[in-house]
């Protein structure tokens, strides 16, 4: 596998902006471009999983949804991967599906034996099935992914995040640009279960 994916993000400002700001502009922009790189990286990884051909997924097909994601649906995703001799580590859902699950007592009770992680970051916790539930607007509404993240894919890092300042005094433009170079690939497509219509 080759590291052919380059992810770039940047920010720029004028000298007046720096003079009028009562904060460290370079520090704040460096944090922002780091966050932007992380978001772009997440989008690439999500796209990798959603581009797997349905026949190559766990169970040999997508899992059709019944309109509302519930505990039985979560168990179905978990079981589909178990039948391929893998173990789902994460369930990736959109906030709409999270809202469906929070109305299901069986789902809520699954956390009594699991561990809460960080609801503010979109990690609902770990159910007693051993899956962390990750909620993100980066996920497509109605699409659910269950993934054995230990074996499903690989991300090779050719260039770690590199930040570089730039200046163009003639145009009064100053800024920072960040980039990384990675390679992404599916290793075991049967370690991924995907469903739509939820």
User: What confidence tens digit (pLDDT) does each residue in 56-80 have?
Assistant: 999 999 999 878 999 999 999 999 9
CA 19 vs CA 11, 22, 30: distances in Å: 17, 8, 18
Q: Per-residue pLDDT tens for 33-46? A: 999 999 999 999 99
Q: From CA 149, how far away is CA 3, in angstroms rounded?
A: 20
Which long-range CB contacts under 8 A does 123-126 form with residues at least 24 apart? 124/98
Which single residue is written with the structure tokens 């959109």? Answer: 94
Domain locations in the chain as residue ranges: 5-196
Q: Per-residue pLDDT tens for 85-119? A: 999 999 999 999 999 998 988 887 776 544 555 55
Q: Per-residue pLDDT tens for 120-175? A: 666 666 677 888 899 999 999 999 999 999 999 999 999 999 999 999 999 999 99
- Name which of 173, 166, 176, 178 is nearest 26 in CA terms: 176
């Amino acid at each position: 596998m080759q590291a052919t994916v380059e992810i770039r993000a940047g920010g720029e400002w004028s000298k007046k902006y720096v003079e009028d700001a009562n904060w460290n502009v370079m520090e704040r922009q460096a944090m922002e471009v780091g966050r932007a790189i992380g978001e772009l990286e997440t989008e690439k990884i999500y796209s990798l999983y959603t581009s797997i051909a349905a026949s190559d997924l766990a169970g040999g097909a997508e899992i059709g949804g019944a309109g509302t994601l519930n505990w039985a649906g979560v168990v179905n995703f978990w079981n589909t991967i178990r039948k391929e001799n893998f173990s789902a580590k994460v369930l990736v859902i959109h906030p709409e599906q999270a809202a469906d699950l929070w109305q299901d007592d069986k789902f809520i009770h699954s956390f009594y034996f699991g561990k809460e992680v960080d609801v503010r970051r979109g990690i609902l916790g770990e159910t007693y099935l051993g899956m962390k539930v990750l909620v993100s607007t980066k996920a497509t509404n109605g699409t659910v992914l269950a993934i054995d993240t230990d074996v499903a894919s690989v991300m090779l890092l050719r260039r770690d995040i590199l930040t570089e300042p730039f200046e163009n005094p003639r145009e009064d433009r100053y800024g920072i640009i960040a980039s990384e170079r990675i390679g992404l690939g599916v290793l075991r497509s049967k370690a991924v279960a995907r469903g739509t219509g939820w």
